[in-house]
Structure 1
Amino acid sequence: MAERYSSFQQGGTMWLLQRITAAFLIVVLAFHFFLLHFVHHADEVSFLMSSGRMETWTYYSLMILFLLTATFHGVNGVYNALINQGLSGTKRTVIKWTLILASIILIVQGFRTANAWAGIPLY
């Protein structure tokens, strides 16, 4: 029988966070799909409508949480997949810090975009 190998330590914090963020993303993506494909069809969605949704603190908060969890889940998954493929040493360190930097840039730009849609000043 084949051995199961994972860079996650089962029962560890990162293992648990990966599963929690996956469950959260499934729920938020279902909400998004329902709202933007059944309640409002794609041809009805406009920038003004999106801006109006972002001006409510509940929707804004949900989208910020979505940004943070999606970034964590994606980057953590890619990093661990690379470790599972044998990434180690200096390459592992370089990839880790590159992914961290990319995450920071993505989150900062995501906040800037969300704030612009919500009418929150960027300064």
Structure 2
Amino acid sequence: MAEHYSSFSRHGTGWLLQRLTAVFLIGVLAFHFMLLHFVNHAADVTFMGTQMRMQQLGYFVTMIAFLVTATFHGVNGVYNALVNQGLAGTQRTVVKWSLVAASVALVLQGIRVAFAMTGSPIL
């Protein structure tokens, strides 16, 4: 029988954060689909409507949290999948820091767009 291997050490911080972000993302995705696909149909979603939603503090904070958790969850999953496939040594370090840099750039750009959608000055 094959031995189970995972780069996640069970009950470690990474393992826990991957699961917590998954639960948060399921909830926020449900909210997103309900609001933007059932309450407001696709044809009714406009740029001005997006600006109005983003000007509400609760919605704005939720979308920023969605951006950060989705980025972490996705990048952490990709990194651990690569580690599970045997990525090690210098390559592992280079990939890790490349993913960190890409994640930071993605989150900063997403926050800039979120602020632009509110009509506030862009950072």
Question: Which runs of 5 or more structure 2 residues have no equivalent in the other structure?
Answer: none
1:88-107 equivalences in 2 (<5 Å): 88-107=88-107
In structure 1, what residue type is equivalent to 2:83? I
Deviation at 1:7, TM superposition (A): 0.2
CA distance in 2, matches of 1:19, 1:2: 25
Query: Which residue does the alignment assign to 1:21?
Result: 21
Query: Which residue does the alignment assign to 1:53?
Result: 53
Deviation at 1:119, TM superposition (A): 1.5
| 3-state SS, counterpart of residue 86 of structure 1 | coil
CA distance in 2, matches of 1:120, 1:31: 25
TM-score, normalising length from structure 1? 0.98
In structure 2, what residue type is equivalent to 1:9? S
Question: Which runs of 5 or more structure 1 residues have no equivalent in the other structure?
Answer: none
CA distance in 2, matches of 1:43, 1:120: 26
Instruction: Give CA deviations for 1:69-105 in whole Å, capped at 9, x if unaligned.
Output: 0010001000000000000011101100110110011
Query: Which residue does the alignment assign to 2:81?
Result: 81
User: Identical aligned pairs, as a percentage?
Assistant: 63
C-alpha RMSD over aligned residues:
0.7
CA distance in 2, matches of 1:51, 1:4: 48
Deviation at 1:2, TM superposition (A): 2.2
In structure 2, what residue type is equivalent to 1:114? A
In structure 2, what residue type is equivalent to 1:64? I
CA distance in 1, matches of 2:66, 2:90: 32
